[in-house]
Amino acid sequence: MAIASYLEAGRDALAEEMRRDPLVWVVGEDLGRGGVFGQYKGLVEEFGPERISDAPISEAAILGAAVGAAMMGTRPVVEMRFSDFALCAMDELVNQAAKARFMFGGQTRVPLVVREPIGMWRSSAAQHSQSLEAWYAHVPGLVVACPATPADTKGLLKTAIRSDDPVVFMEHKNLWGLSGEVPDGEHLVPFGEARIVRPGRDLTIVTWSAQVHVAAAAAESLAAEGIESELIDLRTLWPWDKERVLASVAKTGRLLVAHEAVAVAGFGAEIAATVAERLGPALKAPVRRLGAPRTLIAYAPPVEDTVRVTAAAIAEAARSMTGRG
Amino acid sequence: MTMPGGNLDRDRLRDHHRLMWRIRAFEEQALKGLDDKLVLGAIHPSIGQEAVAAGVTANLGPSDILLSTHRGHGHTLGKGADSGAMMRELLGREGGNCGGKGGSMHIADFSVGMLGANGVVAANIVIAAGAAHAIKLKREPHLVCCIFGDGAINRGPFLEGLNWAAVFQLPVLFVCEDNGFAATTRTRTMTAGGGASARARALGIPAVEVDGNDVLAVDAATAELTAAIRAGGGPRFLHARTYRLTGHTGADPAAYRPADELAARRRDEPIGRAAELLAGAGVPAEALAADQDDAVLEMHAAYAAARAAPFPPAATAFTDVQDAGDPRREAF
């Protein structure tokens, strides 16, 4: 067990998989210089410029080429720089990568990983800050992974690279520097297995990605007030761990979903609906969702901060749900 | 294509003649299937364009890779896919190339290196670049052939895919099968500059223009271009001008074309031109008629077998979606 940052954990996972499988290769803009955030630093020196390949600013070609290369038996990992830019490759991901296996009747697989950094950090405004994970959860054929910790970044990225499904791998930009313990070597986190961040009896809080850390801060302050929340980090949105969420809500009787993405038609709605359908009559309080308002992300800090789901907002919702508001 | 001494390569031209008739007969049968309401979705015939499919695919080996378009029946037959499986696919039946899940627009036969028709114009261009990228990474000797229409050159993936192939010096033959129409609009009215070849040359990709209704010219040009690619020369571009004798889809009467234009283009259609050359080279009329009859019989049998085949089980809606997660309603 070593201490590594979220960024280093991803880099180490990739290097381990590239050593293990010569068919794994990476392509994206500026990778030879280590990538825009330094996630690829040192890799071109070890693996050479064919396997850590620079690319023109051609998102459609980067992702489309990955589809072709994956159908030909290699395992490409592609870097989209920002999830916002991956929208330029939507046909390649949604109409091609996600559909090739099914529409060709199982003749092929598209084992690619598309890394799409998501989320707000500071003053990156409307085209460099979005969290669009729900879009991909809606598309049959895709896996959606949203790691919150260095250990999960490593474990999920290794699983993603070994997966025969196309995987949208969404790292949160605000977490690059986050440090944590990371298991050495063969550490694989399966898709569809949520993590109980802290156990609790009074309500269940479901979240993922950077919002896990915001919710953890809220859970801590709630605990000081005597409200014990069970915090679940979903880790992957498709597949998502319904069983663990349902078991938790069956125990606590209350569900609060919190995510950074826009609340309207966000993945929280899917979780809320599932819990309401399955456990409705047994709930002690109506399901609650917290997400961004349906507006855009601004540049100026006070405006930007207005759309964040804060620890205070989560705590307030939890108090009201437990009758202690 | 001529042999030393100036003689026509009769056998090769005869092969083209047979394949072109098979493509024509397949599509005419498919159009009948549309009338019979047994071909279920849209089909995009390439009637009149068969010389491009025949001349190009004659230069591809079994390990070479082909990517095609929504108008891809001819290319797929040329690459060696089985007409019976293809007809089943058009009828949405079990035993179709894609198990009835794809239909005409998603026909693929990976067993013969045919990586798919595509329902999205120009989408195959970047995928082809990636297939060639994998071939280069694996140091394999094959090449990728990517056929698209003239409408595709106005989409972004055309630029991105050609640039990619040139930058990485990939073994790809790009073929613009130019039938003059982007769906139902004349392509030249919506295309700036010098067109397909000029755009390829602007990216440093050597390009050749050819009469796409002259199967020998297509064959010869493709032979030259594929030889250059196989020699490690990087991507090449073939611009074959042809004419679509039918509408955009089987349901399009194509009334937007003047009758005299259509009549003139009918006289120029590629099978008749090949037959004339063969007759001139001494192939008897009965032999040429037999090529047509054999093709019609083959496709008639394919159609009869397809209509007798069952639809795939409804439960295949949930197979080959993905490994992770359960797609069924009851899993929610």
pLDDT at residue B32 in the model = 98
Cβ-defined contact of A72 to B326 (cutoff 8 Å): no
Residues of A in contact with B167 (CB under 8 A): 56
Report if residue A97 sits inside a domain. yes
Predicted confidence (pLDDT) per residue in B272-303, tens digit: 999 999 999 999 999 999 999 999 999 999 99
- Do residues A164 and A280 both lie within one domain? no
pLDDT tens for B17-65 read: 999 999 999 999 999 999 999 999 999 999 999 999 999 999 999 999 9
Q: Are A57 and A175 found together in one domain? A: yes
Tell me whether residue A189 is in a domain.
no
Q: What pLDDT is stored for residue A1 in this prediction?
A: 85
Q: Please tell me the distance in Å from A170's CA to the nearest CA on chain B.
A: 17
pLDDT value of residue B5 = 42
The percentage of chain B sitting over the pLDDT mark of 70, rounded to a whole number, equals: 98
Please tell me whether residues A317 and A214 are part of one structural domain: yes
3-state DSSP percent of chain A in helix, strand and coil, to 5: 40, 20, 40
Answer for the pair A192, A240: CB distance below 8 angstroms, yes or no.
Answer: yes
pLDDT class of B330 with cuts at 50, 70, 90: confident
The CATH number of residue A273's host domain is 3.40.50.920
Which among B110, B325, B327 has the least Cβ separation from residue A192? B325
A253: left (phi over 0), alpha (psi -120 to 50) or beta: left
Comparing CA positions, the residue from B275, B304, B271 lying closest to residue B51 is B271
Mutate to test the interface with B, among A59, A72, A75 (most CBs of B within 10 A): A72
User: How far is the alpha carbon of A29 from chain B, nearest alpha carbon, in Å?
Assistant: 13
The mean pLDDT value for B130-151 works out to 98
Partner residue opposite B320 with nearest CB, options A68, A74, A102: A102
Domain regions of chain B by residue span: 10-306
Q: What is the CATH number of the domain that holds A39?
A: 3.40.50.970
pTM of the model: 0.96
Residues A82 and A19 in one domain: yes
- Give per-residue pLDDT as tens, B80-90: 999 999 999 99
Q: How far is B158 from chain A (nearest CA, A)?
A: 9
Which of A189-217 are b and which e, b meaning 16 or more Cβ less than 10 Å from the residue's Cβ?
A: bebbbbbebeebebbbbbbbbbbbbbbbe
Residues A152 and A234 reside in one and the same domain: no
Token pair belonging to A148: 């919150």
Q: Do B326 and A239 touch (CB under 8 A)?
A: yes
Contact assessment for residue B164 and residue B126, using Cβ atoms and an 8 Å cutoff: yes
Indicate whether A157 and A33 sit together in one domain: yes
- Strands A2-5 and A179-182 come out as antiparallel
Domain end position, chosen among A123, A155, A182: A182
Q: Map residue B235 onto helix, strand or coil.
A: coil
Q: Using a CB–CB cutoff of 8 Å, tell me whether B325 touches chain A.
A: yes
Helix (H, G, I), strand (E, B) or coil at A196: strand
Q: How far is CA B119 from the centre of its chain?
A: 13
CB A193 within 8 A of CB A226: no
Count the domains in chain A: 2
Report the pLDDT value the prediction gives residue B4, as an integer from 0 to 100: 44
Chain A to chain B, count of Cβ pairs less than 8 Å apart? Answer: 161
For the record, the structure tokens of A58 come out as 């051609």
pLDDT of B6 strictly over 60: no
- Residue A108: its chain B contacts at CB < 8 A? 108, 110, 115
Task: Indicate whether A19 and A111 sit together in one domain.
Answer: yes
A251 falls within a domain: yes
Residue A302 distance to chain B (closest CA, Å) = 38
- At A177 the three-state DSSP class reads coil
Q: State pLDDT tens for residues B203-253.
A: 999 999 999 999 999 999 999 999 999 999 999 999 999 999 999 999 999
- Does a structural domain hold residue A293? yes
Q: How far is CA A252 from the centre of its chain?
A: 26
* Residue B193 pLDDT > 60: yes
Q: What is the pLDDT of residue B110?
A: 98
Average pLDDT across chain B, whole number: 96
Res. B3: pLDDT tops 90: no
Q: Which fold has domain B10-306?
A: Rossmann fold (3.40.50)
Residue A190 located in a structural domain: no
- Domain boundary, last residue among A135, A155, A182: A182
Q: What is the ipTM of this complex?
A: 0.96
Q: What pLDDT is recorded for position B8?
A: 79
Last-in-domain residue among A182, A211, A228: A182
**Within a domain: A306:** yes
Q: Cβ separation of B130 and A165 shorter than 8 Å?
A: no
> Which of B116, B131, B322 faces A143 most closely, judged by CB atoms?
B322
Same domain, A20 and A91: yes
Q: Does residue A187 lie in a domain region?
A: no
Under-70 pLDDT residues of chain A = none
Domain hosting A66: range is 2-182
Residue A211 placed within a domain: yes
